[in-house]
A and B are shown apart, each in its own frame.
Chain A
């Protein structure tokens, strides 16, 4: 465990050096414990793969005292039971313009296109954290067979809803943005909707599955999303 100052208002608590479910679970457990116990002076927390960025108010708690308290909580975080993960199902269409890199990714991975889709849609993904753009989930969970280097040239514009892989990771672009992952398909569900009462769909710790849908269903769901009449399945 390392405490790294991030300016005068934040400290990064590093719990490991790699992307792993175990380390990330401890990061989320530490955040959960801070929420539950209410550490005086902690203002806001931001989990990432292997670190928790903790914003604090130095007029309430000093750096050393805060690190000591976080250290104690981080020890407890190894055994803490967190609330059960939510399971979220996202319809995803792996066809034509919605998955512009599907064929190239299949060639690169030396897999038939259909097998790539079957493997991708058959896996369960863990949301490690949310970031880069509002509501964008950083996930892993694809079979090792789908590990792929990122695109040599990142795109300047990736459409919102694009379902993509890069390295061992999978993500869903939440708004139109630049991106360097391979675009396999698209979900009509909005992961970020600034007009909704709750703009963000996914939370760290969620389990995500992609349900393969045909273009007709994609269009139908997209229309219902636009009309505010679609709720993704969340268990």
Chain B
């Protein structure tokens, strides 16, 4: 059992996500940075998709009400255990009364706290992931609040281990995102597509789990920028320059394996886009999945 002493600005329960309900307007939710979420779970001996916490910009302060193990990954944050510095990307064993404090992100935006066994909240529509706008799932559909109590599912005590440095992602600096052009790339002029692929776009502060807002050189449309509203895939890059009356044209879609980098980009950071075709995107996806699968945790003596 875990008591929330300070929740942080937006900390939610997330699992691998809620499949099959997009046709009813319910998004999958789940972690923005899946690799970091998966590695947090592995550090505490959980299946990859077990329910864990996702925090935003600043982590929570938590007290163990019973012995447990946890791990912090994702954004680069300071971690303390009973006020002494403690490592992230490492299994931490807590005794009753121990307090873990996770500070402000130095680089990256979203971090993860996984607990051995996983967070126990009732599944809603087959998932424990929180959908904040829809007040669905997770802890009664909301972000954590002070004095919340998190119950954990029983699980074996994990071996203490650490994610080796080369396997930890880096979040600072300029970011290059692989995109597949389309579905509406044909709505833009060649110059518009060239501007999109040739320019840097700055992440604006009005960014959240639903989308990152970017600012940069104008991208010229060949035809109108309103289309008949259609489905919006994860990673869609919408181009807008005023209030639209229909759907927004989507010049490109960020590849799934680069979504984490969008979600970890801080306001002020610059993004660039590089186009890949679908076949190359699939090869890069296989490589990305293989890289995550092959991460070998180092056991701590």
- Which residue numbers of A lie inside 8 Å of B, CB to CB? 4-10, 12, 14, 17-19, 31, 43-53, 55, 58-59, 62-63, 129-136, 138, 150, 154, 167, 174-175, 180, 192, 194, 199-200, 203-204
Complex alpha-carbon distance, A131 and B21, angstroms: 10
CB of B141 within 8 A of CB of A194, answer: yes
Residues of B within 8 A of A31 (CB): 23
Residues of A within 8 A of B234 (CB): 7, 9-10
**How many interface residues does B have (CB within 8 Å)?**
46
CB of B23 within 8 A of CB of A45, answer: yes
User: Which residue of A59, A135, A154, A192 is within 8 Å of B286 (Cβ)?
Assistant: A59
List the 8 closest pairs (A to B, CB-CB), nearest first. Answer: A53-B231, A7-B253, A4-B183, A6-B233, A8-B281, A46-B231, A200-B24, A194-B136
Residues of A within 8 A of B282 (CB): 8, 58, 62-63
Complex alpha-carbon distance, A45 and B24, angstroms: 10
B26 within 8 A of A: yes
Residues of A within 8 A of B180 (CB): 5-8
Given A44-B20, A63-B279, A200-B26, CB of A6 within 8 Å of CB of B256: no
Complex alpha-carbon distance, A18 and B229, angstroms: 10
B285 within 8 A of A: yes
B129-140 vs A, Cβ < 8 Å mask (1 yes, 0 no):
001011110000
CB of A192 within 8 A of CB of B134, answer: yes
Task: Kindly provide the distance from the CB of A205 to the nearest chain B CB, expressed in whole angstroms.
Answer: 11
B296 within 8 A of A: no
Residues of B within 8 A of A192 (CB): 25, 134
Task: Kindly provide the distance from the CB of B213 to the nearest chain A CB, expressed in whole angstroms.
Answer: 16
B278 within 8 A of A: yes
CB of B228 within 8 A of CB of A50, answer: yes
Q: Can you name 21 A-B residue pairings with CB atoms under 8 Å?
A: A4-B182, A6-B182, A6-B183, A6-B236, A7-B233, A8-B253, A9-B233, A9-B234, A10-B233, A12-B183, A12-B231, A19-B228, A45-B23, A46-B231, A47-B23, A48-B231, A62-B282, A129-B23, A130-B23, A133-B25, A180-B245
Residues of B within 8 A of A133 (CB): 25, 133-134
Residues of B within 8 A of A7 (CB): 179-180, 233-236, 253-256, 281
B125 within 8 A of A: yes
Known: A6-B253, A10-B231, A50-B228. 18 other contacts (CB 8 A): A6-B180, A6-B250, A7-B179, A7-B234, A7-B253, A8-B282, A43-B19, A44-B20, A44-B23, A48-B229, A130-B24, A131-B25, A133-B134, A150-B245, A167-B245, A194-B136, A200-B26, A204-B23
CB of B25 within 8 A of CB of A135, answer: yes
Residues of B within 8 A of A44 (CB): 19-20, 22-23
CB of B230 within 8 A of CB of A5, answer: no
Residues of B within 8 A of A63 (CB): 278-279, 282
B292 within 8 A of A: no
Given A12-B183, A59-B286, CB of A194 within 8 Å of CB of B19: no
Complex alpha-carbon distance, A49 and B23, angstroms: 12
Given A44-B23, A174-B25, CB of A5 within 8 Å of CB of B278: yes
Give the residue among B179, B233, B257, B282 with the most A Cβ atoms within 10 A.
Answer: B233
B170-187 vs A, Cβ < 8 Å mask (1 yes, 0 no):
000000000111111000
CB of A194 within 8 A of CB of B135, answer: yes
User: Which residue of A18, A53, A175, A200 is within 8 Å of B230 (Cβ)?
Assistant: A53
Task: Kindly provide the distance from the CB of B141 to the nearest chain A CB, expressed in whole angstroms.
Answer: 6
CB of B230 within 8 A of CB of A49, answer: yes
Minimal Cβ-Cβ distance residue in B for A8? B281
CB of B25 within 8 A of CB of A200, answer: yes
Complex alpha-carbon distance, A15 and B105, angstroms: 46
Complex alpha-carbon distance, A163 and B21, angstroms: 23
